[in-house]
Amino acid sequence: MTENNTGLPSFIRSWNQLYAIVMGSLAVEICLFYLLMRWLS
């Protein structure tokens, strides 16, 4: 799927790892937003 890892920052091992970070961040944001909403209403 993501054939080579050139151009990646040194602390990221592969493109797949970076894609997982982006999607994981979204999931975390949605959870945080939900908790924030519940806490404030």
Partner 1 sequence: MSIIDWSVLVLTLTGIVVYGIVRSRGSRSMDDYLLAGQSLPWYHVGLSVMATQASAITFLSAPGQGFTDGMRFVQFYFGLPLAMVVLSITFVPIFHRLKIFTAYEFLEDRFDTRVRTLTAGLFLLQRGLSTGLSIYAPAIILSTILGWNIYWTNLLMGGIVLIYTVTGGTKAISYTHLQQMAVVTFAMGLAGYLTVKMLPEGVGFVDALHVAGEAGRMNLIDLKFDPDSRYNLWSGLIGGFFLQLSYFGTDQSQVGRYLTGQSIGQSRLGLLMNGLLKVPMQFLILLVGVLVFVFYQFNPAPTFFNKQETESLKNSRYASQYQVAEIKHQNLTAQRQKAVLAMQAALQTDDEAGQTTAGTILRETDEALKGVKTDVTKLIQLNNPVADTNDVNYIFLRFVLDYLPHGLIGLLIAVIFSASMGSIASAYNSLASTTVVDVYKRLINKAGSDADYLNASRWATIGWGIFCIAVAQFANQLGSMIEAVNILGSLFYGVILGVFVVAFYVKSIGGQATFWAAIISEVLVVISWMLNLTAFLWLNAIGCLLVVSIAWMLQRTLFRTSPNE
Which two tokens mark 12? 């990221």
Looking at the Cβ atoms of 13 and 33, the one nearer to partner 1 is 33
Instruction: Report 1-41 residues binding partner 1 (CB under 8 A).
Output: 1-2, 6-9, 15, 18-19, 21-23, 25-26, 29-30, 33-34, 36-37, 39-41
DSSP 3-37: ---TT--TT---HHHHHHHHHHHHHHHHHHHHHHH
Which two tokens mark 34? 């939900």
Contacts with partner 1 by CB under 8 A lie at: 1-2, 6-9, 15, 18-19, 21-23, 25-26, 29-30, 33-34, 36-37, 39-41
